[in-house]
Structure 1
């Protein structure tokens, strides 16, 4: 089935239900539609309209977060359901299972038919098109990490499946992959560490039991706008206040922050990092656009927290940083998978280019310097893939994977950037212009070593 034939415009007048409720969404959608209209060409306002769109996405805004849906509170505070660890055959075998392969095939089709054609426009607009987000929901990406007994699609821990899906999505575009995977990171975190009350309160919205409102926009927020940021030495603080907490600080790399209805925010509690569930519309929350060099389609923002008061049930996981450390590792694993997928896109593109591009009467791939560079990309990419898959396999089985994910992140950070650079170099002057996608992939690959949180498997 073709994904392009299954997409449907959401809401009235082409606006999604979220845009209908969100004044910021309405404003951005309005100026975008204005810039696409033929009328402005007839009246000579093309340049002015494009400047409005550019200023909206570049300079951004700083406003209170939109008031999202009301999540119905559940009463029990006992430990929630936890996904079972995957079984091990005792043999080193990273071959995807039949179910995983079927899921990856569907996601690859999504990446090729939906993400890749929309990537350039989404990068320019600093936002993901509604049809791309809708297609990701139809595939079930938001509930990939949720246990089946809680309405998800996986019987076991899905770190391996999540890694394969992230890699497949990134072959289309890393920025759009991040935008589509971000809500699932929050759902996965609640499924892994949430209490029974938290799971009953929030997960129904992700699993399709939330009514006509659809899957909520949600963001996992760990990073901060700090030089040499250390996720275990946060500037954002959580102070105990009676039975609850008060959060103060600034978080960066928040996906679709102006639209988000639920945040998982990392903050220091009694000198130890912890995770908190924060609903949009909570007093003291403000969001500000923060366009970046890469992954621009994810619509990154900054989240300002000033005296944000939360109840005792807002704490997600433990206060010993055990859940938090696993969250950081699973997030880094997801970024490694995104790097592998984007690297594969670079390799596929440059192979065709060097075989078709001719100089001095023959394809440039006949030159050893070109052929060796392409071969190096393939070799490094396979190494990145294997070490990432090994870390994901150990995570899925509930084994310690700290060493493996550290190796994967180091390799994907260094070699991923090198693959992006070589991709640009192989295209020569064409690699520097937006006519070809390698310059965007190069910018995206540089995010792997600096991003924390956002996505998770």
Structure 2
């Protein structure tokens, strides 16, 4: 991976990660973590809207006032500059970013994860803490109210990895609005950016979701079953989307659909007629509040198309989404490894720690080796994406390894804990369920 950000920060100009750190450092200056750490478990109440299931018209949400120049290209983040130096060491600013988000994950996400998994919803204190550190605007250019000047795929990957060390489901829910904002930054027209991005850069951040997956056997993300038909005034969408994070709260969706034989992205507001959501609780990633989005004759205007209509924008969106899921797998896999390593050293059997058994020691060593391979492949793909280079091969390799080895790490974690790995007293069973999603999930988040 070509490391390109060393030495870019100066008194005249910060690098893009510097802007991210400036926003994220607000967390260290606030008392959010202290307050949440001091609260009793019972005070971290969670919303239970999806606990018993729901099916209703989507949230009416805010009214997005149309503005900007219709048809004009929007502001695009520039590719990260490269030096050609192969260096896998995070820069000082990148490490600061990782440290802040890791603290958020351990001090806020992890204590709330069990309840959030049970309720299929994100606790309100967790949402507030994520907003305070500026997660929704990480991929939004500074000119549009965000904190980046260059493409933020590398920063987004590091953030996703760090967040998922706390809980993958909560990480998905918290990254979902920023994923839509990033999509608008990468592919939105001037009118789309001016209309929708202000909702992500203020204090009252809109819930939003990227809806690509569908409840179909052998679903191919590059060939969605949802259809879009041209009309005199725009398009009519029909189909069903699944695994949509916080779908009951979302005010804006990015929906993938087939248009004239090509997959295309569409912006769909939650107040659109014919749009409904239903609870879609899953085996894993439950804290994300996954929902099913039903589109029955949903009419959108002609300017609702996001990006190109030849399939290239959609394909890049899928790849960036798969990159995000790889980062989530790395973070959760690291959480498993960090949990089982001290466990096997302390757990006694036949008068000695079970770590003294070669079968146990070798299993832990394999987990560490496979995790490092997952991380390096993911970082290489992220670095090419940030530089604006073709990363289709790299992300395909990363996804293949992360889907297989990530699930294996979760399975081995359960095995190493024995009976403890099967009960909810320990978080490893939840992490195993979450890791099973890596090869199946499409969309929801991107970097």
One of 113, 124, 127 as aligned partner of 2:118: 124
- Provide the TM-score with structure 2 as the length reference: 0.90
Measured in 1, the distance between the counterparts of 2:169 and 2:359 equals 31
Query: Unmatched 5+ residue regions in structure 2?
Result: 1-27, 38-42
One of 93, 98, 102 as aligned partner of 1:99: 93
Mapped pair 1:108 → 2:108: no
One of 20, 24, 34 as aligned partner of 1:5: 34
2:257–2:265 CA contact under 8 A, matched in 1: yes
Measured in 1, the distance between the counterparts of 2:413 and 2:254 equals 36
2:44–2:112 CA contact under 8 A, matched in 1: no
Mapped pair 1:334 → 2:328: no
Tell me the secondary structure at the aligned position of residue 268 of structure 2: strand
* Residue of structure 2 in register with 1:73 after alignment: 66
Measured in 1, the distance between the counterparts of 2:286 and 2:67 equals 37
Measured in 1, the distance between the counterparts of 2:55 and 2:128 equals 27
1:171–1:342 CA contact under 8 A, matched in 2: yes
* Residue of structure 2 in register with 1:137 after alignment: 131
* Residue of structure 2 in register with 1:379 after alignment: 369
1:171–1:344 CA contact under 8 A, matched in 2: yes
1:3–1:113 CA contact under 8 A, matched in 2: no
Q: How does 1:268-283 map to 2 (within 5 A)?
A: 268-283=258-273
Q: How does 1:182-261 map to 2 (within 5 A)?
A: 182-208=176-202, 214-261=204-251
Measured in 2, the distance between the counterparts of 1:234 and 1:159 equals 25
1:385-435 deviation line (CA, Å, top 9, x unaligned): 000000000000000000000000000000000000000000001100001
Query: Unmatched 5+ residue regions in structure 1?
Result: 9-13, 17-27, 33-52
Report how far residue 6 of structure 1 moved. 5.6
The alignment of Structure 1 onto Structure 2 pairs a total of residues equal to: 412
Report how far residue 153 of structure 1 moved. 1.0
Mapped pair 1:423 → 2:413: yes
* Residue of structure 2 in register with 1:36 after alignment: none
1:294-352 deviation line (CA, Å, top 9, x unaligned): 00000000000011111111110010111111100000000000000000000000001
Report how far residue 360 of structure 1 moved. 1.4
1:332–1:452 CA contact under 8 A, matched in 2: yes
Measured in 1, the distance between the counterparts of 2:77 and 2:128 equals 26
Tell me the secondary structure at the aligned position of residue 410 of structure 1: helix
Measured in 2, the distance between the counterparts of 1:137 and 1:259 equals 16
Provide closer, same or farther for how the CA distance between residues 70 and 15 of structure 1 changes in structure 2, counting only shifts above 3 A: farther
Moved more, 88-97 or 361-370: 88-97
- Between structures 1 and 2, the one with greater helix share: 1
Measured in 2, the distance between the counterparts of 1:114 and 1:75 equals 38
Q: How does 1:14-53 map to 2 (within 5 A)?
A: 29=47
Moved more, 95-104 or 77-86: 95-104
Which 4+ residue blocks in structure 1 deviate beyond 3 angstroms? Answer: none
Measured in 1, the distance between the counterparts of 2:360 and 2:133 equals 39
Measured in 2, the distance between the counterparts of 1:348 and 1:398 equals 34
2:36–2:108 CA contact under 8 A, matched in 1: no
Measured in 2, the distance between the counterparts of 1:228 and 1:242 equals 34
Report how far residue 102 of structure 1 moved. 1.4
Mapped pair 1:290 → 2:280: yes
Measured in 2, the distance between the counterparts of 1:242 and 1:95 equals 54
- Provide the TM-score with structure 1 as the length reference: 0.88
Report how far residue 185 of structure 1 moved. 0.6
Report how far residue 15 of structure 1 moved. 12
1:3–1:110 CA contact under 8 A, matched in 2: no
* Residue of structure 1 in register with 2:389 after alignment: 399
Measured in 2, the distance between the counterparts of 1:80 and 1:61 equals 37
* Residue of structure 2 in register with 1:358 after alignment: 348
1:224–1:250 CA contact under 8 A, matched in 2: yes
One of 63, 66, 74 as aligned partner of 2:56: 63
* Residue of structure 1 in register with 2:256 after alignment: 266
* Residue of structure 1 in register with 2:425 after alignment: 435
2:44–2:123 CA contact under 8 A, matched in 1: no
1:68–1:280 CA contact under 8 A, matched in 2: yes
1:94–1:393 CA contact under 8 A, matched in 2: no
1:3–1:114 CA contact under 8 A, matched in 2: no
Measured in 2, the distance between the counterparts of 1:328 and 1:6 equals 38
Tell me the secondary structure at the aligned position of residue 453 of structure 1: coil
* Residue of structure 2 in register with 1:20 after alignment: none
